[in-house]
Structure 1
Amino acid sequence: MFKQHNKIQVALVDDHPTLMEGLKAILVSNLNVDIAGCFVTGQDMLNYLGLNRVDIVLLDIALPDINGIALCQEIKKKAPDTVILVFSNHSERSIIMQTIQNGASGYLLKNTSLDELRSSIHDVLEGKVVFSKEVQEIISRPSKNELQGPPRLTRREKQVIELLSEGKTSLRIAEELSVSALTIDTHRRNLMQKFAVKNTAELIKAAMLHRLI
Protein backbone atom coordinates (compact mmCIF):
# COMPACT_ATOMS: atom_id res chain seq x y z
CA MET A 1 0.00 0.00 0.00
CA PHE A 2 1.06 3.61 -0.48
CA LYS A 3 2.35 5.33 2.66
CA GLN A 4 2.70 9.06 3.09
CA HIS A 5 6.17 8.91 4.65
CA ASN A 6 7.56 6.06 2.64
CA LYS A 7 6.69 6.69 -0.98
CA ILE A 8 6.79 3.91 -3.50
CA GLN A 9 9.89 4.13 -5.69
CA VAL A 10 8.89 3.78 -9.35
CA ALA A 11 11.29 3.34 -12.26
CA LEU A 12 10.23 3.92 -15.87
CA VAL A 13 11.89 2.04 -18.72
CA ASP A 14 10.89 3.14 -22.22
CA ASP A 15 12.80 4.20 -25.33
CA HIS A 16 10.42 7.11 -26.01
CA PRO A 17 11.58 9.95 -23.70
CA THR A 18 8.60 12.19 -24.50
CA LEU A 19 6.10 9.50 -23.56
CA MET A 20 8.12 8.71 -20.45
CA GLU A 21 8.08 12.33 -19.33
CA GLY A 22 4.32 12.44 -19.80
CA LEU A 23 3.86 9.25 -17.78
CA LYS A 24 6.17 10.60 -15.09
CA ALA A 25 4.06 13.75 -14.76
CA ILE A 26 0.86 11.71 -14.53
CA LEU A 27 2.23 9.43 -11.82
CA VAL A 28 3.65 12.24 -9.70
CA SER A 29 0.45 14.31 -10.00
CA ASN A 30 -2.01 11.50 -9.34
CA LEU A 31 -0.22 8.98 -7.13
CA ASN A 32 1.82 9.30 -3.96
CA VAL A 33 5.01 7.96 -5.55
CA ASP A 34 8.58 9.02 -6.23
CA ILE A 35 10.13 8.48 -9.65
CA ALA A 36 13.36 6.64 -8.89
CA GLY A 37 14.56 7.08 -12.45
CA CYS A 38 13.71 7.12 -16.15
CA PHE A 39 15.72 4.79 -18.38
CA VAL A 40 15.89 4.41 -22.14
CA THR A 41 17.90 1.17 -22.09
CA GLY A 42 17.57 -2.01 -20.10
CA GLN A 43 21.23 -1.99 -19.09
CA ASP A 44 20.95 1.47 -17.56
CA MET A 45 18.00 0.20 -15.54
CA LEU A 46 19.94 -2.84 -14.33
CA ASN A 47 22.96 -0.69 -13.38
CA TYR A 48 20.73 1.57 -11.30
CA LEU A 49 18.89 -1.37 -9.74
CA GLY A 50 22.14 -2.83 -8.49
CA LEU A 51 22.72 0.17 -6.22
CA ASN A 52 19.28 1.60 -5.49
CA ARG A 53 15.88 0.58 -4.18
CA VAL A 54 13.13 0.25 -6.76
CA ASP A 55 9.70 -0.99 -5.67
CA ILE A 56 8.08 -1.19 -9.08
CA VAL A 57 9.27 -0.98 -12.68
CA LEU A 58 6.93 0.21 -15.43
CA LEU A 59 8.50 -1.54 -18.38
CA ASP A 60 8.07 -1.28 -22.14
CA ILE A 61 8.84 -4.32 -24.29
CA ALA A 62 10.67 -2.62 -27.17
CA LEU A 63 14.06 -1.36 -26.00
CA PRO A 64 17.20 -0.61 -28.04
CA ASP A 65 19.53 -3.02 -26.22
CA ILE A 66 17.45 -5.85 -24.76
CA ASN A 67 13.83 -6.87 -25.22
CA GLY A 68 11.55 -6.43 -22.24
CA ILE A 69 10.76 -10.14 -22.04
CA ALA A 70 14.39 -11.00 -21.30
CA LEU A 71 14.78 -7.92 -19.10
CA CYS A 72 12.04 -9.22 -16.80
CA GLN A 73 14.26 -12.18 -15.94
CA GLU A 74 17.31 -10.00 -15.39
CA ILE A 75 15.43 -7.65 -13.08
CA LYS A 76 14.10 -10.51 -10.96
CA LYS A 77 17.56 -12.06 -10.73
CA LYS A 78 19.09 -8.81 -9.50
CA ALA A 79 16.18 -7.66 -7.32
CA PRO A 80 13.64 -10.43 -6.61
CA ASP A 81 11.42 -8.10 -4.55
CA THR A 82 11.10 -5.50 -7.30
CA VAL A 83 7.68 -5.70 -8.96
CA ILE A 84 7.46 -5.49 -12.75
CA LEU A 85 4.41 -4.04 -14.49
CA VAL A 86 4.67 -4.13 -18.28
CA PHE A 87 3.32 -1.00 -19.98
CA SER A 88 3.46 -1.49 -23.74
CA ASN A 89 1.73 -1.19 -27.10
CA HIS A 90 2.55 -4.81 -27.96
CA SER A 91 -0.62 -6.89 -27.74
CA GLU A 92 0.56 -10.29 -28.99
CA ARG A 93 -0.69 -13.05 -26.70
CA SER A 94 2.62 -14.92 -26.78
CA ILE A 95 4.53 -11.82 -25.65
CA ILE A 96 2.09 -11.20 -22.80
CA MET A 97 2.39 -14.76 -21.54
CA GLN A 98 6.18 -14.81 -21.81
CA THR A 99 6.55 -11.67 -19.71
CA ILE A 100 4.45 -13.23 -16.94
CA GLN A 101 6.47 -16.44 -17.14
CA ASN A 102 9.64 -14.34 -16.82
CA GLY A 103 8.53 -12.62 -13.64
CA ALA A 104 6.24 -9.71 -14.55
CA SER A 105 3.26 -9.18 -12.24
CA GLY A 106 1.04 -7.52 -14.80
CA TYR A 107 0.60 -6.30 -18.35
CA LEU A 108 -1.10 -3.07 -19.41
CA LEU A 109 -1.51 -1.58 -22.86
CA LYS A 110 -0.55 2.08 -23.17
CA ASN A 111 -4.15 3.07 -23.93
CA THR A 112 -5.18 2.07 -20.40
CA SER A 113 -7.05 4.67 -18.36
CA LEU A 114 -5.56 6.53 -15.42
CA ASP A 115 -7.95 4.78 -13.04
CA GLU A 116 -6.89 1.40 -14.39
CA LEU A 117 -3.21 2.32 -14.12
CA ARG A 118 -3.68 3.51 -10.55
CA SER A 119 -5.54 0.39 -9.46
CA SER A 120 -3.07 -1.88 -11.26
CA ILE A 121 -0.10 -0.33 -9.45
CA HIS A 122 -1.85 -0.81 -6.11
CA ASP A 123 -2.75 -4.41 -6.93
CA VAL A 124 0.67 -5.56 -8.11
CA LEU A 125 2.28 -4.04 -5.01
CA GLU A 126 -0.10 -6.16 -2.96
CA GLY A 127 1.06 -9.30 -4.72
CA LYS A 128 -1.65 -9.64 -7.34
CA VAL A 129 -1.23 -10.32 -11.04
CA VAL A 130 -3.08 -7.74 -13.11
CA PHE A 131 -4.06 -7.22 -16.74
CA SER A 132 -5.80 -4.31 -18.38
CA LYS A 133 -9.26 -5.13 -19.74
CA GLU A 134 -8.04 -5.40 -23.32
CA VAL A 135 -5.20 -7.70 -22.28
CA GLN A 136 -7.64 -9.90 -20.36
CA GLU A 137 -9.64 -10.36 -23.56
CA ILE A 138 -6.49 -11.22 -25.53
CA ILE A 139 -5.22 -13.88 -23.14
CA SER A 140 -8.69 -15.44 -22.76
CA ARG A 141 -8.62 -16.41 -26.43
CA PRO A 142 -6.59 -19.57 -27.08
CA SER A 143 -4.02 -19.30 -29.84
CA LYS A 144 -4.34 -21.17 -33.12
CA ASN A 145 -1.63 -23.61 -32.09
CA GLU A 146 -3.31 -24.34 -28.77
CA LEU A 147 -6.61 -25.05 -30.49
CA GLN A 148 -5.00 -27.41 -32.95
CA GLY A 149 -2.89 -29.29 -30.42
CA PRO A 150 0.66 -30.50 -31.04
CA PRO A 151 1.46 -32.09 -34.40
CA ARG A 152 2.64 -35.69 -34.46
CA LEU A 153 6.42 -35.91 -34.81
CA THR A 154 8.69 -38.78 -35.72
CA ARG A 155 11.52 -39.76 -33.39
CA ARG A 156 14.01 -38.16 -35.76
CA GLU A 157 11.99 -34.93 -35.99
CA LYS A 158 11.98 -34.71 -32.18
CA GLN A 159 15.75 -35.09 -32.17
CA VAL A 160 16.15 -32.40 -34.80
CA ILE A 161 13.92 -29.88 -33.06
CA GLU A 162 15.68 -30.43 -29.73
CA LEU A 163 19.07 -29.81 -31.36
CA LEU A 164 17.73 -26.74 -33.18
CA SER A 165 16.56 -25.36 -29.84
CA GLU A 166 20.17 -25.61 -28.65
CA GLY A 167 21.18 -23.24 -31.45
CA LYS A 168 22.93 -25.84 -33.57
CA THR A 169 23.22 -25.52 -37.35
CA SER A 170 22.00 -28.07 -39.86
CA LEU A 171 25.60 -29.09 -40.52
CA ARG A 172 26.34 -29.63 -36.82
CA ILE A 173 23.11 -31.58 -36.34
CA ALA A 174 23.90 -33.70 -39.39
CA GLU A 175 27.29 -34.57 -37.90
CA GLU A 176 25.78 -35.55 -34.56
CA LEU A 177 23.08 -37.70 -36.15
CA SER A 178 25.39 -39.12 -38.85
CA VAL A 179 23.22 -37.99 -41.74
CA SER A 180 23.61 -35.39 -44.48
CA ALA A 181 22.94 -31.69 -43.97
CA LEU A 182 20.41 -31.96 -46.81
CA THR A 183 18.47 -34.52 -44.77
CA ILE A 184 18.39 -32.18 -41.78
CA ASP A 185 17.20 -29.30 -43.97
CA THR A 186 14.41 -31.55 -45.20
CA HIS A 187 13.40 -32.37 -41.62
CA ARG A 188 13.48 -28.68 -40.80
CA ARG A 189 11.16 -27.82 -43.71
CA ASN A 190 8.79 -30.64 -42.75
CA LEU A 191 8.71 -29.43 -39.15
CA MET A 192 7.93 -25.85 -40.18
CA GLN A 193 5.10 -27.16 -42.35
CA LYS A 194 3.68 -29.27 -39.51
CA PHE A 195 3.75 -26.35 -37.09
CA ALA A 196 2.59 -23.84 -39.74
CA VAL A 197 5.49 -21.47 -39.02
CA LYS A 198 7.81 -19.48 -41.28
CA ASN A 199 11.22 -19.80 -39.66
CA THR A 200 13.28 -21.68 -37.09
CA ALA A 201 12.63 -19.15 -34.31
CA GLU A 202 8.88 -19.58 -34.70
CA LEU A 203 9.34 -23.33 -34.88
CA ILE A 204 11.18 -23.44 -31.57
CA LYS A 205 8.62 -21.14 -29.94
CA ALA A 206 5.75 -23.37 -31.14
CA ALA A 207 7.49 -26.50 -29.88
CA MET A 208 8.04 -24.87 -26.49
CA LEU A 209 4.39 -23.84 -26.36
CA HIS A 210 3.42 -27.50 -26.78
CA ARG A 211 6.14 -28.55 -24.29
CA LEU A 212 7.83 -30.71 -26.88
CA ILE A 213 11.22 -29.29 -25.87
Structure 2
Amino acid sequence: MSANKTDATLVIVDDHPIVIEGLQSLLQGEEGLHIVQSFTTGGAFLSFLKEQPHIDIVLLDITLPDLNGVEVCREIKIHAPDTKILIISNHNERSIIMQMLQQGASGYLLKNASGDELVHCIHEVLNGRIALSAEITAIMTRPVQNELKQIPHLTKREKQVLGMIAAGRTSASIADELCVSQFTVETHRRNLMQKFDASNTAALIKMAVEQRLL
Protein backbone atom coordinates (compact mmCIF):
# COMPACT_ATOMS: atom_id res chain seq x y z
CA MET A 1 0.00 0.00 0.00
CA SER A 2 1.50 3.31 -1.00
CA ALA A 3 1.40 6.00 1.65
CA ASN A 4 -0.14 9.42 1.28
CA LYS A 5 0.54 12.25 3.69
CA THR A 6 -2.98 11.90 5.06
CA ASP A 7 -2.80 8.12 5.52
CA ALA A 8 -2.94 6.79 9.09
CA THR A 9 0.13 4.68 9.86
CA LEU A 10 -0.62 1.19 11.14
CA VAL A 11 1.47 -1.61 12.66
CA ILE A 12 0.38 -5.22 13.26
CA VAL A 13 1.72 -7.22 16.25
CA ASP A 14 0.74 -10.89 16.35
CA ASP A 15 2.74 -14.04 16.96
CA HIS A 16 1.08 -15.92 14.07
CA PRO A 17 2.42 -14.96 10.63
CA ILE A 18 -0.75 -16.31 9.00
CA VAL A 19 -2.84 -13.86 11.06
CA ILE A 20 -0.58 -11.00 10.05
CA GLU A 21 -0.91 -12.01 6.39
CA GLY A 22 -4.69 -12.17 6.76
CA LEU A 23 -4.89 -8.71 8.33
CA GLN A 24 -2.57 -7.27 5.70
CA SER A 25 -4.72 -8.78 2.96
CA LEU A 26 -7.92 -7.36 4.50
CA LEU A 27 -6.47 -3.88 4.88
CA GLN A 28 -4.31 -3.71 1.76
CA GLY A 29 -6.76 -1.74 -0.32
CA GLU A 30 -8.29 0.27 2.51
CA GLU A 31 -8.14 3.96 1.70
CA GLY A 32 -6.56 6.16 4.35
CA LEU A 33 -4.46 3.41 5.95
CA HIS A 34 -0.78 2.65 5.46
CA ILE A 35 0.64 -0.57 6.95
CA VAL A 36 4.14 0.39 8.04
CA GLN A 37 5.42 -2.86 9.52
CA SER A 38 4.43 -6.08 11.29
CA PHE A 39 6.01 -7.92 14.21
CA THR A 40 5.65 -11.35 15.85
CA THR A 41 7.08 -10.31 19.25
CA GLY A 42 6.32 -7.48 21.62
CA GLY A 43 10.00 -6.71 22.21
CA ALA A 44 10.79 -6.20 18.52
CA PHE A 45 7.80 -3.91 18.13
CA LEU A 46 8.67 -1.81 21.20
CA SER A 47 12.25 -1.39 19.94
CA PHE A 48 10.83 -0.17 16.63
CA LEU A 49 8.38 2.17 18.37
CA LYS A 50 11.14 3.85 20.38
CA GLU A 51 12.86 4.70 17.09
CA GLN A 52 9.67 5.64 15.24
CA PRO A 53 7.08 6.78 17.81
CA HIS A 54 4.76 8.43 15.29
CA ILE A 55 2.56 5.42 14.63
CA ASP A 56 -1.16 6.18 14.56
CA ILE A 57 -2.57 2.77 15.44
CA VAL A 58 -1.35 -0.67 16.52
CA LEU A 59 -3.35 -3.87 15.98
CA LEU A 60 -2.15 -5.83 19.00
CA ASP A 61 -2.59 -9.45 20.02
CA ILE A 62 -2.55 -10.18 23.76
CA THR A 63 -0.66 -13.49 23.69
CA LEU A 64 2.88 -12.95 22.46
CA PRO A 65 5.92 -15.22 22.96
CA ASP A 66 7.97 -12.71 24.97
CA LEU A 67 5.62 -10.14 26.55
CA ASN A 68 1.91 -10.10 27.34
CA GLY A 69 -0.50 -7.55 25.97
CA VAL A 70 -0.75 -5.67 29.26
CA GLU A 71 3.02 -5.02 29.30
CA VAL A 72 3.06 -3.97 25.65
CA CYS A 73 0.07 -1.64 26.15
CA ARG A 74 1.75 -0.01 29.15
CA GLU A 75 5.01 0.52 27.25
CA ILE A 76 3.23 1.97 24.23
CA LYS A 77 1.51 4.54 26.40
CA ILE A 78 4.86 5.48 28.02
CA HIS A 79 6.88 5.86 24.81
CA ALA A 80 4.17 6.87 22.33
CA PRO A 81 1.11 8.10 24.26
CA ASP A 82 -0.65 9.32 21.11
CA THR A 83 -0.50 5.89 19.45
CA LYS A 84 -3.92 4.21 19.48
CA ILE A 85 -4.19 0.53 20.40
CA LEU A 86 -6.78 -1.87 19.00
CA ILE A 87 -6.70 -5.31 20.59
CA ILE A 88 -7.37 -8.28 18.30
CA SER A 89 -7.54 -11.44 20.38
CA ASN A 90 -9.14 -14.83 20.97
CA HIS A 91 -9.57 -13.98 24.67
CA ASN A 92 -13.21 -13.17 25.44
CA GLU A 93 -13.03 -13.00 29.25
CA ARG A 94 -14.60 -9.84 30.64
CA SER A 95 -11.74 -9.34 33.13
CA ILE A 96 -9.10 -9.42 30.37
CA ILE A 97 -11.09 -7.01 28.19
CA MET A 98 -11.41 -4.59 31.12
CA GLN A 99 -7.71 -4.90 31.94
CA MET A 100 -6.66 -4.03 28.40
CA LEU A 101 -8.99 -1.02 28.25
CA GLN A 102 -7.68 0.16 31.62
CA GLN A 103 -4.11 -0.09 30.31
CA GLY A 104 -4.91 2.30 27.48
CA ALA A 105 -6.35 0.22 24.64
CA SER A 106 -8.95 2.12 22.63
CA GLY A 107 -10.72 -0.91 21.22
CA TYR A 108 -11.13 -4.66 21.42
CA LEU A 109 -12.39 -7.22 18.95
CA LEU A 110 -12.19 -10.97 18.60
CA LYS A 111 -10.34 -12.71 15.80
CA ASN A 112 -13.61 -14.12 14.47
CA ALA A 113 -14.84 -10.59 13.67
CA SER A 114 -15.61 -9.77 10.05
CA GLY A 115 -13.37 -7.64 7.84
CA ASP A 116 -15.99 -4.90 7.79
CA GLU A 117 -16.10 -4.88 11.58
CA LEU A 118 -12.31 -4.66 11.74
CA VAL A 119 -12.20 -1.69 9.38
CA HIS A 120 -15.03 0.03 11.25
CA CYS A 121 -13.26 -0.44 14.61
CA ILE A 122 -9.97 0.90 13.20
CA HIS A 123 -11.64 4.09 11.99
CA GLU A 124 -13.58 4.48 15.24
CA VAL A 125 -10.33 4.27 17.22
CA LEU A 126 -8.54 6.67 14.88
CA ASN A 127 -11.41 9.14 15.40
CA GLY A 128 -10.85 9.06 19.15
CA ARG A 129 -13.67 6.71 20.11
CA ILE A 130 -13.69 3.43 22.03
CA ALA A 131 -14.43 0.65 19.55
CA LEU A 132 -15.78 -2.75 20.60
CA SER A 133 -16.90 -5.47 18.22
CA ALA A 134 -20.52 -6.65 18.53
CA GLU A 135 -19.50 -9.80 20.42
CA ILE A 136 -17.32 -7.85 22.86
CA THR A 137 -20.12 -5.32 23.43
CA ALA A 138 -22.46 -8.21 24.29
CA ILE A 139 -19.92 -9.60 26.78
CA MET A 140 -19.38 -6.23 28.44
CA THR A 141 -23.09 -5.45 28.79
CA ARG A 142 -23.97 -8.88 30.17
CA PRO A 143 -24.64 -8.77 33.93
CA VAL A 144 -21.79 -10.20 36.00
CA GLN A 145 -22.49 -13.19 38.23
CA ASN A 146 -22.91 -11.15 41.42
CA GLU A 147 -25.42 -8.89 39.68
CA LEU A 148 -27.49 -11.92 38.69
CA LYS A 149 -27.84 -13.02 42.29
CA GLN A 150 -30.82 -11.63 44.14
CA ILE A 151 -30.06 -9.53 47.18
CA PRO A 152 -30.73 -11.89 50.08
CA HIS A 153 -33.55 -11.04 52.47
CA LEU A 154 -32.20 -10.55 55.99
CA THR A 155 -34.14 -10.41 59.23
CA LYS A 156 -33.61 -7.45 61.55
CA ARG A 157 -31.48 -9.61 63.87
CA GLU A 158 -29.40 -10.97 60.97
CA LYS A 159 -28.66 -7.39 59.91
CA GLN A 160 -27.53 -6.61 63.47
CA VAL A 161 -25.27 -9.65 63.57
CA LEU A 162 -23.90 -8.90 60.09
CA GLY A 163 -22.94 -5.37 61.14
CA MET A 164 -21.20 -6.66 64.25
CA ILE A 165 -19.31 -9.32 62.28
CA ALA A 166 -18.16 -6.64 59.84
CA ALA A 167 -16.94 -4.61 62.82
CA GLY A 168 -14.71 -7.54 63.81
CA ARG A 169 -16.72 -8.63 66.85
CA THR A 170 -16.44 -12.21 68.11
CA SER A 171 -19.46 -14.45 68.49
CA ALA A 172 -19.04 -14.30 72.28
CA SER A 173 -19.10 -10.48 72.43
CA ILE A 174 -22.07 -10.35 70.02
CA ALA A 175 -23.93 -12.83 72.21
CA ASP A 176 -23.23 -10.73 75.33
CA GLU A 177 -24.49 -7.51 73.71
CA LEU A 178 -27.63 -9.09 72.24
CA CYS A 179 -28.33 -11.13 75.40
CA VAL A 180 -28.53 -14.39 73.48
CA SER A 181 -26.49 -17.58 73.57
CA GLN A 182 -23.30 -17.95 71.58
CA PHE A 183 -24.97 -20.89 69.81
CA THR A 184 -27.71 -18.52 68.55
CA VAL A 185 -25.09 -16.11 67.19
CA GLU A 186 -23.29 -18.97 65.43
CA THR A 187 -26.62 -20.03 63.91
CA HIS A 188 -27.15 -16.48 62.58
CA ARG A 189 -23.60 -16.52 61.21
CA ARG A 190 -24.20 -19.84 59.40
CA ASN A 191 -27.49 -18.56 57.98
CA LEU A 192 -25.79 -15.42 56.69
CA MET A 193 -23.04 -17.45 55.03
CA GLN A 194 -25.67 -19.61 53.32
CA LYS A 195 -27.79 -16.66 52.18
CA PHE A 196 -24.78 -14.96 50.63
CA ASP A 197 -23.25 -18.24 49.43
CA ALA A 198 -20.02 -17.12 51.11
CA SER A 199 -17.22 -19.53 51.99
CA ASN A 200 -15.69 -17.41 54.78
CA THR A 201 -16.22 -14.24 56.80
CA ALA A 202 -14.13 -12.07 54.46
CA ALA A 203 -16.23 -13.18 51.47
CA LEU A 204 -19.42 -12.57 53.47
CA ILE A 205 -18.42 -8.98 54.28
CA LYS A 206 -17.24 -8.30 50.71
CA MET A 207 -20.54 -9.52 49.24
CA ALA A 208 -22.59 -7.61 51.79
CA VAL A 209 -20.72 -4.42 50.85
CA GLU A 210 -21.26 -5.10 47.14
CA GLN A 211 -25.00 -5.58 47.80
CA ARG A 212 -24.96 -2.33 49.84
CA LEU A 213 -26.13 -4.07 52.97
CA LEU A 214 -23.23 -2.64 54.96
TM over 0.5: yes
Partner of 2:189: none
Of residues 170, 194, 203, the one that matches 1:194 is: 203
Partner of 2:94: 93
Mark the CA change 1:134 to 1:4 in structure 2 (over 3 Å): closer, same or farther.
same
Mark the CA change 1:120 to 1:144 in structure 2 (over 3 Å): closer, same or farther.
same
Mark the CA change 1:111 to 1:192 in structure 2 (over 3 Å): closer, same or farther.
farther
Question: Amino acid of the residue matched to residue 25 of structure 2?
Answer: A
Q: Distance in 1 between matches of 2:105 and 2:6?
A: 23
Q: Distance in 2 between matches of 1:191 and 1:127?
A: 45
Is it true that 1:115 corresponds to 2:124 in the alignment? no
Once the two structures are TM-superposed, the CA of residue 43 in structure 1 deviates from its matched residue by 1.0
Is it true that 1:12 corresponds to 2:12 in the alignment? yes
Q: Distance in 1 between matches of 2:9 and 2:83?
A: 10
Q: Distance in 2 between matches of 1:56 and 1:192?
A: 47
Give unmatched runs, 5+ long, in structure 1.
157-189, 196-205
Once the two structures are TM-superposed, the CA of residue 70 in structure 1 deviates from its matched residue by 2.5
Question: Amino acid of the residue matched to residue 35 of structure 1?
Answer: I
Once the two structures are TM-superposed, the CA of residue 55 in structure 1 deviates from its matched residue by 0.7
Question: Amino acid of the residue matched to residue 127 of structure 1?
Answer: G
* Larger mean Cα displacement after TM superposition, 120-129 or 27-36: 27-36
Partner of 2:74: 73
Say whether the 8 Å CA contact 2:6–2:32 is kept in structure 1. Answer: no
Q: Which runs of 4+ in 1 moved over 6 A?
A: 152-156, 190-193
Question: Which structure is larger by alpha-carbon Rg, 1 or 2?
Answer: 2
Partner of 1:136: 137
Give unmatched runs, 5+ long, in structure 2.
151-161, 169-198
CA-atom RMSD, angstroms?
2.8
Once the two structures are TM-superposed, the CA of residue 29 in structure 1 deviates from its matched residue by 2.4
Provide the TM-score with structure 1 as the length reference.
0.67
Question: Amino acid of the residue matched to residue 50 of structure 1?
Answer: K
Once the two structures are TM-superposed, the CA of residue 154 in structure 1 deviates from its matched residue by 6.3
Question: Amino acid of the residue matched to residue 24 of structure 1?
Answer: Q
Say whether the 8 Å CA contact 1:31–1:118 is kept in structure 2. Answer: no
Q: Distance in 1 between matches of 2:201 and 2:51?
A: 45
Mark the CA change 1:146 to 1:102 in structure 2 (over 3 Å): closer, same or farther.
farther
Say whether the 8 Å CA contact 1:49–1:79 is kept in structure 2. Answer: yes
What count of residue pairs does the alignment treat as equivalent? Answer: 161
Identity rate, percent: 46
**Secondary structure at the residue paired with 2:143?**
coil
Mark the CA change 1:154 to 1:14 in structure 2 (over 3 Å): closer, same or farther.
farther
Q: Distance in 1 between matches of 2:34 and 2:142?
A: 37
Q: Describe the superposition over 1:166-209 as per-residue Cα deviations: whole angstroms up to 9, x where unpaired.
A: xxxxxxxxxxxxxxxxxxxxxxxx779939xxxxxxxxxx9xxx
Once the two structures are TM-superposed, the CA of residue 62 in structure 1 deviates from its matched residue by 0.6
